[in-house]
Amino acid sequence: MYTNESTKYASAADIGQKSRVLVVEDEELIREMLVLALEEEGYEVETAIDGRLAIEQLQSFDSSNNETTAFDLVILDLMLPQINGLDICRLVRHQGNPVPILMLSAKGSETDRVLGLEVGADDYLTKPFSMRELVARCRALLRRQRLSTATQAPVLNYKEITLYPQECRVLVRSEEVNLSPKEFRLLELFMSYTRRVWSREQLLDQVWGPDFVGDSKTVDVHIRWLREKLEQDPSRPEYIVTVRGFGYRFG
């Protein structure tokens, strides 16, 4: 059901600092297989067996340095005891935590995948899956996160929108708005290249990465969310404009 192919990718240790991964999975066998595969790749892994414990770990406090304990990636099962994966994802994003989230689920319909992405997941993997694919997706998410945080970018301004790349903050008409990581990256890309027209495929490549496996409709979903948060009248957008037959343009 869950295969662990012999072909190995470069481990986390081979590409830099060891990354910390939180695995939230209530099925013991799957959880143990995930831990084994990730530790073999060089990741530091912690686990939670239900939603309540997951939230506690995500919000845990490290008294030694007065900082919230950080994870570099969360692998989150959809169906969990106590609190389900969708509600955990919503809470994490509502609190402004940008940690990449890979959601796991036996539900593989397009509606279920879109819902998972809509609540803030960065990627979605349907059970059964191969461990090789899971590790590849983890590496892709961590790579994009490192590139995003390493990039030194100036504050971006356009009309009534101000974006602070290093703080992951956005002000719209002087009020702060909460964006998911994908929404933030989309807006940052748009504001970095105002007036440029982007196709759906180009946006998927730039924001989701070349390893993304999914439907281009994901872009339309995130554009709709952005409009609801940025535009005074989302039905007549001023900022994110549809260029019929080509894609989207900012400004």
pLDDT, tens digit only, all 251 positions of the chain? 455 443 343 444 343 458 899 999 999 999 999 999 999 999 999 999 999 999 999 887 443 443 445 789 999 999 999 999 999 998 888 877 888 999 998 887 788 788 888 888 999 999 889 999 999 999 999 988 777 665 555 789 999 999 988 788 899 999 999 999 899 999 999 999 999 999 999 999 889 887 777 788 899 999 999 999 999 999 999 999 999 999 999 98
Query: Do the domain assignments include residue 44?
Result: yes
| Residue 4 domain-assigned (yes or no) | no
Residue 6 lies in a domain: no
Q: Are residues 175 and 205 in the same domain?
A: yes
- Whether 32 and 138 map to the same domain: the answer is yes
Q: Which is nearest to 145 in space by CA: 219, 63, 70, 86? A: 70
Q: What domain count does the chain have?
A: 2
Q: Is 224 among the domain residues?
A: yes
Interatomic CA distance for residues 35 and 75, integer angstroms: 11
Cβ 43 vs Cβ 19: under 8 Å: yes
A 10 A CB-CB count for 21 gives 25
Number of CB atoms found within 10 A of residue 19's CB: 23
**Identity of residue 36:** L
Residue 46, domain extent: 12-149
Q: Looking at the structure, tell me whether residues 142 and 207 fall in a common domain.
A: no
Residues 163 and 136 in one domain: no
Is 103 in a helix, a strand, or coil?
strand
Length of the chain, please? 251
Same domain flag for 128 and 180:
no
DSSP annotation of 14? G
Q: How far apart are CA 210 and CA 180, in angstroms?
A: 20
Query: CA–CA separation, 134 vs 11, rounded Å?
Result: 13
Q: Which residues contact 119 (CB under 8 A, 6 or more apart)?
A: 86, 89, 90, 93
Asked if the structure places residue 2 within a domain, the reply is no
Handedness of CA 177, 250, 226, 56 (dihedral sign): negative
Q: Are residues 122 and 104 in the same domain?
A: yes
Verify that 95 and 18 share a domain, yes or no. yes
Q: Which of 111, 128, 149 is the C-terminal boundary of a domain?
A: 149
> Vertex 168, ends 162 and 173: CA angle to 5°?
25
Residue 192, in any domain of the structure: yes
Within this chain, do residues 21 and 113 fall inside the same structural domain, yes or no?
yes
Q: What is the pTM of this model?
A: 0.56
Residue 49 near residue 58, CB atoms below 8 Å: no
Interatomic CA distance for residues 88 and 81, integer angstroms: 12
What phi-psi label fits residue 209: left (phi over 0), alpha (psi between -120 and 50 degrees) or beta?
A: left
Tell me, what's the pLDDT at 151? 53
Q: Tell whether omega for the bond before 128 is within 30 degrees of 0, i.e. cis.
A: yes
DSSP 47: E
123, 149, 175 — which closes off a domain? 149
Q: Are 77 and 97 in contact (CB under 8 A)?
A: no
d(CA 31, CA 55): 17
Do residues 26 and 140 both lie within one domain? yes
Residues 190 and 138 in one domain: no
Order across the sheet with 123-126: list the strands: 44-48, 20-24, 73-77, 101-105, 123-126
Among 134, 149, 164, give the residue marking a domain's end.
Answer: 149
